[in-house]
């Protein structure tokens, strides 16, 4: 008998993932699932799925789930956590959901210092609806609603969500990471685990922004997509810890 050195996380179901080839949602799902298992909270975790490609994330996470209206996941998570504080509640939101239609809900959940964990996946585009411009779409980046590339004097500059969230007095932990290569995937796992650990310890609002890809929406190969993250996204969306009250207060 061989020794098992690697297996699928118990935090994931056996449902085949519906994500496109080269999309990093699968990788990020795995990291979240592993964290929940390792922290021993999978059986009391509640996913709040948002609208976008991860709308069906409840099929893949092996925990309870509530599917929320577009942008409203932080409000739904607030409702769950307030009446069921023993639940480990997390939202999983893309940049269209969180950074456009859901800005009010995410900002105010942080302002209230809700003891929830937000997994924010930023791939600079609306993937599910076919590759439209998002608030996070980079200048000159072509999408189906910015066919000649995003223009500053029309759409403004891309929204820097982690920088904004770090300014909120009651947010506890805000970090931007990336899932485009192995060293960064390992850092992403650490950040996700920390964000859940904070909730378990009752510290308050934690958000991990994860830079991700959309090869189909970007019209590039999966390899080119990871290179775009490295060469174009990371320079505009610098990685790092934007706020960690645990560090400040310790």
Site string for another protein, 100-139 (x = CB under 8 A): ----xx-xx--xx---------------------------
CB-CB contact of 77 with 48 (8 Å): yes
**Total chain residues near another protein (CB under 8 A):** 35
Q: Does the protein bind another protein through residue 77 (CB under 8 A)?
A: yes
CB-CB contact of 24 with 213 (8 Å): yes
Work out which of 67, 129, 132, 144 binds another protein, going by CB under 8 A. Answer: 67
Handedness of CA 181, 127, 122, 115 (dihedral sign): negative
Pairing of strands 240-244, 45-49: unpaired
Q: How far is the CB of 155 from another protein (least distance, A)?
A: 24
Handedness of CA 92, 94, 95, 97 (dihedral sign): negative
Q: Which stretch binds another protein (CB under 8 A): 19-27, 71-79, 161-169, 230-238?
A: 71-79
Work out which of 24, 31, 36, 75 binds another protein, going by CB under 8 A. Answer: 75
Q: How far is the CB of 78 from another protein (least distance, A)?
A: 5
Q: Report the site for another protein in 30-49 (rule: CB under 8 A).
A: 43-44, 46, 48-49
CA gap 76, 50 in Å, rounded: 10
CA gap 9, 56 in Å, rounded: 18
Q: Does the protein bind another protein through residue 68 (CB under 8 A)?
A: yes
3-state secondary structure of 76: helix
| Contacts of residue 233, Cβ cutoff 8 Å, sequence gap at least 6 | 122, 124, 138, 178, 211
Is the CB of 24 or the CB of 75 nearer to another protein?
Answer: 75
Binding site for another protein (CB under 8 A): 43-44, 46, 48-49, 55-56, 58, 62-69, 72, 75-84, 86-87, 104-105, 107-108, 111-112
């Amino acid at each position: 008998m061989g020794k098992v050195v690697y297996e699928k996380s118990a935090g994931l179901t056996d449902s085949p993932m519906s994500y496109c080839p080269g999309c990093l949602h699968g990788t990020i799902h795995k990291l979240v699932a592993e964290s929940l298992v390792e922290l021993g909270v999978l059986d009391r975790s509640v996913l709040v799925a948002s609208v976008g490609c991860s709308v069906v994330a409840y099929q893949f996470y092996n925990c309870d789930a509530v599917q929320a209206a577009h942008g409203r996941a932080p409000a739904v998570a607030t409702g769950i956590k307030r009446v069921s504080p023993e639940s480990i509640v997390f939202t999983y939101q893309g940049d269209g959901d969180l950074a456009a239609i859901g800005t009010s809900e995410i900002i105010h959940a942080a302002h209230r210092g809700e003891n929830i964990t937000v997994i924010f996946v930023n791939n600079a585009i609306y993937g599910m609806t076919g590759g439209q411009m998002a608030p996070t779409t980079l200048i000159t980046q072509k999408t189906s609603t910015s066919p000649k590339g995003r223009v500053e004097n029309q759409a403004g500059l891309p929204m820097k969500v982690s920088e904004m969230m770090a300014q909120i007095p009651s947010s506890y932990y805000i970090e931007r990471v990336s899932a485009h290569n192995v060293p960064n995937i390992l850092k992403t796992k650490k950040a996700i685990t920390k964000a859940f650990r904070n909730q378990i310890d009752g510290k308050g609002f934690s958000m991990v922004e994860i830079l991700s890809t959309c090869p189909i929406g970007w019209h590039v190969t999966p390899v080119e997509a990871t290179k775009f993250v490295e060469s174009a996204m990371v320079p505009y969306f610098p990685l790092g810890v934007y706020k960690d009250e645990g560090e400040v207060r310790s």
